[in-house]
């Protein structure tokens, strides 16, 4: 695991949290500070946005206010033109982007893990398959001593302990990617539960945000939930390993996320619509996810739109070490170039191209 920056723990109601960092993209002096950039959406990339903004303020002077309200909340706000950008872990179709006059592009890659609170079991000791995970979250496997779990873990002393399922009850890109993986591994999950940001969960207790799930996992004996790996680290949670497509159990980390991303063909992803779950490769983490940014294609305020793009360009090109230290995988430079080319071709203000800056 890589060396990590310290990230403060957030308040229990993360939906009301606001991340404020005084940052700007211009390296040359400017006459006055531009208005704050505003964003809302996924909790999954929150750690990266926070640290990027903190680092970026050293040579710029624009504020960034971000509301981690979940992917669905962010999508609603950008469609209503209530924020400068939305962050979503749910890849939107090209049709949705066209309908809402929005441009989508990837910004960062990370991993979703099943975090657990099981008597006597430490991080990385327990192994689970996608099919077993699906049956746990459908309420078909209800005890950690179940024979199906024992067969996967013959060397572990598993307790006779009831399983307590935890799930996101807000519109969540983390739920979308987790359910996307389960649907690929369990036909019953695919047919009965499906894939989505909000689901009709057959069993369990709901909580809001990655932090809400993380808090409950620590408090509830026998718990299992799904969270962004950064929250596992920050909250000191234990997690289970998950079998990948090659039948192996890699650890969730930078290398395994990058391995999963290596098979992605962005050239065949209209509107950058891409999921990275259940990718091939011996080292691939099976529940890898992409977080996206969405912006209005025609910016009513050129300065605000350009300021936002400059921040994202800096983050993709100069924020890789910060992303790595937080156990996120940065985008390959070839993808970064494609993103900026897409800006140039599709983002305007007053009929003029918004990118590159003059």
pLDDT score of 14:
38
DSSP class of residue 11 equals P
Assigned CATH for 112-269: 3.40.190.10
Where are the domain boundaries for CATH 3.40.190.10 in the chain? 14-110+290-353, 112-269
* Per-residue pLDDT at 272: 94
Residue 4 has a pLDDT of: 39
Q: How far, in Å, CA of 297 to CA of 343, rounded?
A: 9
Q: What is the pTM of this model?
A: 0.84
| CA dist., res. 132 & res. 224, Å (int) | 13
Encode the chain (358 residues) as per-residue pLDDT tens digits.
Answer: 443 333 444 333 333 333 333 333 333 333 344 567 899 999 889 989 988 988 887 778 777 889 999 999 999 999 999 999 999 999 999 999 999 999 999 999 999 999 999 999 999 999 999 999 999 999 999 999 999 999 999 999 999 999 999 999 998 999 999 999 999 999 999 999 999 999 999 999 999 999 999 999 999 999 999 999 989 998 999 999 999 999 999 999 999 999 998 878 888 899 999 999 999 999 999 999 999 999 999 999 999 999 999 999 999 999 999 999 988 998 889 899 999 999 999 999 999 999 999 8
Which helix or strand (DSSP H or E) is residue 194 part of? Answer: none
- Answer yes or no: CATH 3.40.50.410 is held by domain 14-110+290-353: no
Distance (Å, rounded) from C-alpha 323 to C-alpha 315? Answer: 9
Distance set, CA 243 to CA 45, 119, 146, 225 (Å): 24, 22, 18, 17
pLDDT of residue 13: 39
| Bridge partners, residue 289, by sequence | 110
**DSSP one-letter code for 57:** G
Q: Phi-psi region for residue 150, left (φ > 0), alpha (ψ -120 to 50) or beta?
A: alpha
Predicted confidence at residue 332, as pLDDT, reads: 86
Smallest Cα–Cα separation from 48: which of 3, 109, 114, 106? 109
């Amino acid at each position: 695991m890589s060396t990590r920056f310290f990230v403060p723990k957030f308040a229990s109601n993360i939906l009301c949290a606001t991340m404020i960092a005084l940052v700007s993209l211009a390296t040359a002096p400017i006459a006055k500070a531009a208005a704050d950039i505003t964003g809302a959406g996924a909790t999954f990339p929150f750690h990266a946005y926070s640290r990027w903004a903190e680092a970026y303020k050293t040579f710029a002077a624009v504020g960034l206010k971000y509301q981690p309200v979940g992917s669905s909340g962010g999508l609603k706000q950008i469609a209503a033109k209530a924020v400068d950008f939305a962050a979503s872990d749910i890849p939107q179709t090209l049709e949705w982007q066209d309908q809402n006059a929005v441009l989508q592009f990837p910004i960062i890659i990370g991993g979703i893990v099943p975090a657990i609170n099981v008597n006597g079991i430490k991080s990385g000791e327990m192994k689970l398959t996608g099919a077993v995970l699906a049956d746990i979250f459908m309420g078909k496997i209800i005890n950690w001593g179940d024979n199906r779990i024992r067969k996967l873990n013959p060397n572990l002393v598993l307790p006779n302990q009831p399983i307590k399922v935890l799930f996101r009850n807000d519109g969540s890109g983390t739920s979308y990617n987790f359910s996307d993986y389960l649907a690929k591994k369990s036909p019953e999950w695919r047919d009965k539960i499906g894939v989505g940001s909000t689901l009709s969960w057959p069993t369990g207790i709901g909580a809001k945000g990655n932090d809400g799930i993380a808090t409950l996992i620590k408090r509830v004996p026998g718990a299992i939930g799904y969270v962004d790996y950064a929250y596992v680290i920050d909250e000191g949670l234990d997690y289970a390993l998950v079998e990948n497509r090659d039948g192996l159990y890699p650890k969730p980390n930078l290398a395994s996320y990058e391995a999963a991303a290596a098979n992605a063909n962005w050239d065949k992803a209209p509107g950058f619509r891409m999921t990275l779950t259940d990718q091939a490769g011996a080292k691939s983490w099976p529940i890898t996810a992409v977080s996206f940014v969405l912006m209005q294609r025609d910016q009513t305020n050129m300065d605000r739109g350009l300021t936002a793009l400059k921040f994202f360009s800096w983050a993709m090109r100069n924020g890789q070490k910060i992303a790595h230290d937080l156990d996120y995988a940065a985008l390959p430079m070839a993808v970064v170039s494609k993103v900026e080319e897409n800006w140039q071709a599709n983002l305007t203000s007053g009929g003029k191209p918004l990118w590159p800056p003059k």
